[in-house]
Every structure is written in C-alpha cells, then in structure tokens.
Structure 1
Amino acid sequence: MKSKVLILLIVVLVALLGGLTWLMLAARDPLFHGKPESEWIKGIAYGVSLPEHESQAQIKRWRDFGADGVRVLARAVEKADQPIRRTYRKIHRRVSPWLPVFLVRLLPDPGSVVTGGPPMAVIDLLSRLGEEAEAAAPAVARTLKSEDAGVRNSAVIFFGGEGENPLLNRMDPKAKRKLLPDFIRAVEDGRASWSLRNNAAIALRCYPEQREVVAPVLVKALQDSSPWVRQSAAEALNRVAPDLIRSAGVVPIVIGVLKDPDDQIAWRAALWLGEMRTEPALAVPALVESLESPSSLVAATAAQALTRYKEQADQIIPALEKAAQRKDTAGGWAKSAAKQLESETAAKQGVK
C-alpha cells in the first residue's frame, strides 16, 4: 500500500514539475518591426533549400535590420535549446513509460529535439551574414553541445566554415580555445554524419597554436570512412603541422580521394596535389591517370595541377597532349596546360 502511495505521489510530483517547467519555458515574444519575433523566426528558411535569388533576398533583409536583427536571431538560438528544455526532455523520456497514458497526455509535450528546424536555419543565416553576425557567437557557441547533429553542424560552420578568414581566426584567443574540445569531439564522433565530421575537421585548421593537441586528431581523421573527411583532414593538417605531411602518409591518402567516383571531392584532391607539389613520384602518375577521368571537372583540375610540376615536364607534356584530344572542356584545359609547360620549359632551357 505504501509503495502505491509513493508511486502516486511521484506521479503527481512529476505532473506538477512538468506544468511548472512548461510555465518557465514560456518566454516573452517581443515585437520586432510590428510582428512577434517568433513569426520572423518561423519565416526563415534554410539557405541551401532556397533558390539563389530568394536566399540573397533573405540575407539582405536581415542585413538591413543591422545589429537589432542579429540580436533577434541570437535570442532565437538561445531560446531553442535552453538547459531547462533539455532537462525536461530527458526527464520526460525516462518517466513517461512508467506513467498512465492519461497522465502522459497531461504533461507538456517536450517535442522532438527542439533545436531542429528553424533554429538550424537561423544559425545558417547568421553564418551567411558574415562579420555582422559576430555578436551572436556566445549564443551559437552553446549549440555546439546540442543534441541535434544538424544544429551542431551549422554551429561548426558558423565558427570555422571554409574561407580564408573564418570567425575562429578573429576571436579572442581564450574564447577560441574554449571551443576546441567541441570541434575535436565532433571530428571523432563516429555516430555523427560525415558532414559534421568534415566541417569540424575544416574548423581545426584554425588551431595551429594548438598543434600538439590538434595534429594527432587530424592524423587519426585521415583514416575516416568518408573521403570528404579524409580530404579536409589532409588540408587542415597542412595548415596545423605541414612537417607531418610525409610521415602521416597524406599524399597516398589524397591520391585515394582523387580516385573516388564522386567528382565533387575528387577534384579537390587534384587541386591539393597541385598546390602542395609534395612527393612528385607519387603525385604525378596519379594526376596523369586522372587526365582520363570520365569527369571533365577532375580531368581539367588534374591538367592544371600538373603545370605545377615543372621538373617532370618531359613525363607530363605527352600525357597532356593526349588528353588535349578529349572532346569536352577538359581537352581545352589539357591543351592549354601542355602549351604552358612547353613554354616554361623552353624558357628555362634558353636561360641555360
């Protein structure tokens, strides 16, 4: 009897706590340009899902709002995954299987992971606003620990996305260092999407000052199951610890990526081999082979990359001349590359 009473008391307590929690979750919804902020947030669409002209219009609209708009977006990110919401979701998941159905229905619905949907689009929009969105960094930083991998991915891109001057490079060193464990955790999370691991690897390129910590993580990521992650890890390692490129076996790994059937990553491998000019005995034959790729993008990039290996011109020029017979755009690039190498070789011989 006592146990039944105890269970009943627990049930009532949970219900009360649920109601109180929900009351606490109810937040103010101030007006912004004549509409509740929540209405503005609901109207934000994920950038890549929009036609280019609509995406640019959305970016312009929020840029025109200036600092006030960034504050609205930052508040939306903060509200999306407050600690109290996360706690309530965990309690609800653990307790609801033991409660009567009628009582579960009385409890406020925690929903799925509330960071999905619009908040992810908000962080994506903030990333597209560039330097104007830096004021939202503290709010976005908290989402690096989100339960939703998509939100974490958007947050990683916000801080360390591709480009020569990501936000991480402009941050206070102490604040930047504080985020490092979250990026490392994302790279090493085998259960996460390859996209999250890939973008986290890209972000780690911004930590050359943490070489001793970051380099081993990137070396391990060179063995990732995704060619995208392997390629990004190679590029990041070259920024963080370029002296480890040979010992870590980076060139053979990138050559493996070069042979991937997905030309959207294979061409990046070709480009990198041209920029690095490391271990030509391995790189040149792989690039020459790629001149015959069914992808004109990969073949054209390989042709351009080969122009960087002037010392191997005698080996490369015949391969480029053969590739110049292709009927697609890669043929034109190969022809141009062959002429460039021939001209540079002739000039070098003339100097002698």
Structure 2
Amino acid sequence: MSPAPVIESLPEGLANLADFEAPARARVSDAAWAYLSGGAADEITLRANRAAWDAIRLHPRVLRDLGHGHTRVTLLGRELRHPILLAPIAYQRLFHADGELALGHAAAAQEAGLILSAQASVEMELVAAPMRADPGAGPLWFQLYWRDDREFMRALLRRVEAAGFQALVLTVDAPVHGARDRERRIGFKLPDDIRAVNLGGLKKPLDLQPGQSALFDGLMPRAATWREVDWLRTESRLPLLLKGVTHADDAREALARGVTGFVVTNHGGRALDTLPPTAALLPPLRAAVGPDVPLLVDGGIRRGTDVLKAIALGADAVLLGRPYVHALAASGALGVAHALRLLRDELEIAMALSGCKTLADAGPALLWPGAPA
C-alpha cells in the first residue's frame, strides 16, 4: 500500500503548463532551480528544443466527420488512452516533499504513463503501488543508468520486475554529466536527506595511476557498451528501450541486438550541447527503424499542438519533463494531475481543429512544408 500524497490547492490562474513555473519558482531553492532548469554549456540545445516545436506549422483539414474521435494509441502492444508519459527525472524530493510518490498517484489518476528514474528519491515500490492498483493507469517503466557491478544490476532488475514495472529504459547518452554551468556557478549538491534510495550501496572508487584521466581512465571504462545491452536483454524478461540514441546506425545496431524501441532525446539539453533539437532528430530515426518500432520523444514539449506535431513527425508517444516538475513544486500530486489534464485537453482541441479524428490521421501531410524532416 502506497502512502497518500499531500493534497494541496492549485494556484489561481492556471491556463497552461507555463503558468506553473512562477509558483514553482517561489517554492524551490536557487540551487534546485539551477539543477532543474539549466542545460549544458551555452544551452544552445536547451533553447533549440523549444524553438523547433514553435517553428513547425500545422496544415489542417476541414469539414471532416470527427464524431467519436479519440486520443488512443498502442504502445508495446497495449492500448493507451492518450500518448503522454512522464519522463524520468531524478531526485524529485528536491522540489516537493512527496517527490516521486506524487507522480504515481497523478499518473494513475490521469491514465498517463510513468517512467521512473533510477535516481528517484522515493522507493520504487511506493511509486508503483497506485499505478498497479488502477487498471486504467498507463504504462509503468523503469529507467536505468548502467552501474559496473553485474551482481548489483541483477538484483536491481529482480526488484524492478517484482515491483510491477513493465519495461526497462536504458539511458545511453549520458555516461558522464554535461558541463552544466548553472549548477557549477551556484555550487549545487544534494541535501543530506535526499539520495537515490533505489541504488543502495557505494560505487567502486576510481583506481587511477598518476597522470591518468579521471574521465577516460576512470569513468569511461565502466560505462555501458553494446556488451551491456546484450547482458540486459538476457538478464531480464522485460522489453528494453534505449534512451538517447540519435544516430540511425546506432538505432539499426540496437534493433539487431533485440532492443524493442527508443526514446528520442538529447537529454533535455543537459548532456552534449549543440545537438539538434528532438523535433529534427525524430524523422530520420523513424525512417531508419521503420513504421513499427516504438519511438517516444521528449525535449521542449509544452502544448497539445507539440504533442500532435510529434505524432505527425513519427512519434508514438511523448514524454513530458520539466513542466510536470513545475506542477509538482507548485502543488504536489494535484498539480501534476492538473498539468496532465491540461495537456490532454489541448491535444484534443488541436486534433479537432486540425481535422484529426484519431492520432492515426496525424502524419507528414498535417505539417506545413518546411517542417523538420
């Protein structure tokens, strides 16, 4: 049984996801805000993610029969009420005392999917409980970072499976932190009472010789390679998706090794700066993997029109990131649920005004020529 989250009142005047940002900022420390809001280096990719969705124009059809339309999609063989999932974001007790516990309840209430971060600050079983208890809840997946300790990873996989998670999402684009200047300027560090509670134990210390690089001689030999992807495929019965593949050749290699699908991402602009925006990465990856491989996309999703554009560019579903953390900080589980509801309503409006009865009607023809391709 998962404990109940704190139910708070919503701030006044919430018309869209952006309206959560100001009340969230008032509740969050400067250091935590820098951690959440900042990107890598000059934050070129961070800004480009949002700008790319804004630059795409819709080209609607009219006078179509849209009665009894819906937002349902199929993902990993399961029909979902809508294509919106909550992205994995670490240490959410930085932003609200309930942290990830609030996400489980909000996602279940709005029939949204949830990908829980390996660096969650609440035990995975507590987060999973409300999702498992609600038959209408969306998919429940677990995001992994590789740790160079196969016994630890094996035990973690068994725990993830026992808790009821239905897929694994291995992050492959961030073997080290990006150069995040906002965090470095403010001296961000985790408070003593917040940690990755599902990753017990200590990492092995680096064993460096004089003159060796802590990154290339210490950390990178421990990072995941294709060998670890193969190992995960054999060690767990759960479908495996890779988060952070941006090159078509890597996507084809992953499929050849039995990977199920991909999250198209640039890590929210937090890893390698100057990567293309995800709206530009999505179409060539869809072309590379074909029509049937599950593709999800994140990065800058703020409006229902963004969701519709993502589907038109080839995504099966989208991940919502920073905006739901703003909602969490502003008013806990109720805030996250309300943010999801706002985005779902905006998606329905965008579909109706674009002549889309279902999301299967959203293809390249829905986009004004010149959209990213």
**TM-score interval w.r.t. the shorter chain?**
under 0.3
TM-score (ref. length: structure 1): 0.28
More strand by share: 2
Larger radius of gyration: 1
Question: Whose RCO is larger (CA < 8 A, sep 6+)?
Answer: 2
TM-score (ref. length: structure 2): 0.26
